[in-house]
Structures are given as C-alpha cells and as structure tokens.
Amino acid sequence: MMNEHFSENDDLLLKSYDAPVTARERELLSSLMQNDHALRQQGDQYSRIRELLLRPEPDSFGPFFAERIMQQLKQRASEIDYLIFFFFKKYQVLAIGVLVALLITNMLLTDQLTLKSLFGIDQQTTEDVFSIDLYKNLTE
C-alpha cells in the first residue's frame, strides 16, 4: 500500500531499512540511489535518524552524578562558612579593643574601681526608687 507522500522509490528505500529485500529490489535501489541525488540525500537522512533512534543507551550524566553535585555544594558551603569566619576574625581584635576602651572610660569617669562602675551601673538612691502601693485603697 503506497502512501500519498511517498513514491515507490521512497517505499523501497524505507523497506530496505526494516525488512529483507530481494536481489532484484536491491539492484533497483542501488541504481536509483546512483541516479537520483534527492533520493540519495533522503537515504542519508533516514540513515542518520535511524542511528540516532537505535542508540544502545541514552546519554547520561555518568555514575554518581548526584553525589558529585552534593559534594560540590557541601564544598561551596564550607568555603562560604570559612569566608564568614575569616571576615569576623579580621574585626575581632578591633571589637575587643573598642570594648576595653569603653570599660576603661566608664571606670575613669566614675573614679571608682568596682564592677558596677566598670559596667556603668549607678547606685540608686532612695529618692530615685518609687514605690507604687496597689493595695493601699483595698484595706480602707
């Protein structure tokens, strides 16, 4: 049965790829391929398509692809952690120096050598402390 889009030559060409052909058909196809340039190009195109479709196995990313990706992600995460640590380590001495300077300034301004004066905690006087008696009106 011949399709509208294919000639007998095309049918013979396609048949030669999938089914055994007789000696007469093989000779006919050979002479057609020598004489018809378009049929030869079409045959080459069919051959390339057939090779692509008949590959033994599809392309893959190779063995242990997921493990390699996870290892690279872990390595990048550790690099980022190291960079963050190095950044803060660089300014660690400066931050401690500023803290010590503030503590010494508090101590010198209060003229006392106590922990409360060192951290700037003032002694509250009784005038500064207010007492709110919530139960005052309950007993009356």
Write down the pLDDT at residue 8: 80
Tens-binned pLDDT, residue by residue, of the chain (140 aa): 444 556 787 888 888 877 888 888 888 888 888 888 888 888 888 888 888 877 777 667 778 888 999 999 999 988 988 888 888 787 888 888 998 898 888 777 777 667 666 666 666 555 555 555 555 565 55
Write down the pLDDT at residue 7: 77
103: Cβ contacts below 8 Å, ≥ 6 apart:
118, 119
Q: Does residue 41 sit within a domain?
A: yes
Q: Does residue 72 sit within a domain?
A: no
Domain carrying residue 19: 8-53
Q: Does residue 47 sit within a domain?
A: yes
Contact criterion met (CB below 8 Å) for 117 and 107:
yes
Full-model pTM: 0.35
Q: Does residue 42 sit within a domain?
A: yes
Q: Does residue 120 sit within a domain?
A: no
Contact criterion met (CB below 8 Å) for 33 and 43:
yes
Q: Does residue 106 sit within a domain?
A: no
Q: Does residue 34 sit within a domain?
A: yes
Q: Does residue 44 sit within a domain?
A: yes
Count of domains forming the chain:
1
